Amino acid sequence: MYVIVVGCGRVGAELAANLSARGHDVTVVDFVGSQFRHLDPAYRGRTIEAEAMAEGVLEGAGIRDAGALAAVTNSDAVNSVVGHVARTIYHVPSVVVRNYDPRWRSLHESMGLTTVSTTAWGAQRLEELIELPTLRPVLSAGHGEVEVYEVVVPPAWGGRTVGDLTRDLECNVIALAQGGRAAIAGPDTVMQAGDILHVGASLAAAGALRHRLAKGA
């Protein structure tokens, strides 16, 4: 697949290098040439030193042939405009934009752009590590509003049901693994100490779940 990455800061350089290493044809666009120093020496794609929103730059980068575009500069305005142009004018199949300042996130979303909010996501991860040390996040939905957590059933909850654990909490047990074999879990599924649960929950519900697990009731 041909991919255009707009912005060659640390995020853009890492993304471009990873995509290139996986066999994709990649072009990186940045208006500051010195930014290309962030690229891994093994990167074999193209670089274009130019302002992405300047006339003819995206055309010159081959946007009409692009299967994907990622706008990952540290300017939310640039990311939103480039993403909007790629999606609505050039109909690039996959367009993803970086949200740098969470206060601008609504702008990206109002344009219908697939958005990755690195600042909000990072803060969410740190908050989870501080508040939820017994719950390990394994999957994030949206901007982290809902996570899937991996939970090891403590001894105090052995012999009790999934419904006992999740009663009145806004969370869902997706699966339960016993002895290395996983199955869909229902409210009447009986847990054993050491079982592994995968639970979908908001951060608030995950905090309540952690508290309930620690209390044993």
Token pair in block for residue 9: 């800061």
Which pLDDT belongs to residue 49?
97
**Tens of pLDDT, residue by residue, the chain (217 residues):** 999 999 999 999 999 999 999 999 999 999 999 999 999 999 999 999 999 999 999 999 999 999 999 999 999 999 999 999 999 999 999 999 998 887 777 777 777 888 887 777 677 667 766 765 678 888 877 767 888 998 889 899 999 999 999 999 999 999 999 887 889 999 999 999 989 999 999 888 988 998 898 887 6
Helix (H) or strand (E) holding 209: helix 203-215
* Domains of the chain, residue spans: 2-119, 132-215
- Confirm whether 2-119 and 132-215 share one CATH topology: no
Q: Which spans in 53-200 are helix H? A: 57-60, 76-88, 105-110, 118-131, 162-166
Chain Cα centroid distance, residue 173 = 21
Which residue type does 11 have? V
For the domain made up of 2-119, the CATH class stated in words is alpha beta
Q: Which CATH code fits 132-215?
A: 3.30.70.1450
Which pLDDT belongs to residue 165?
92
pTM: 0.66
Which pLDDT belongs to residue 118?
76
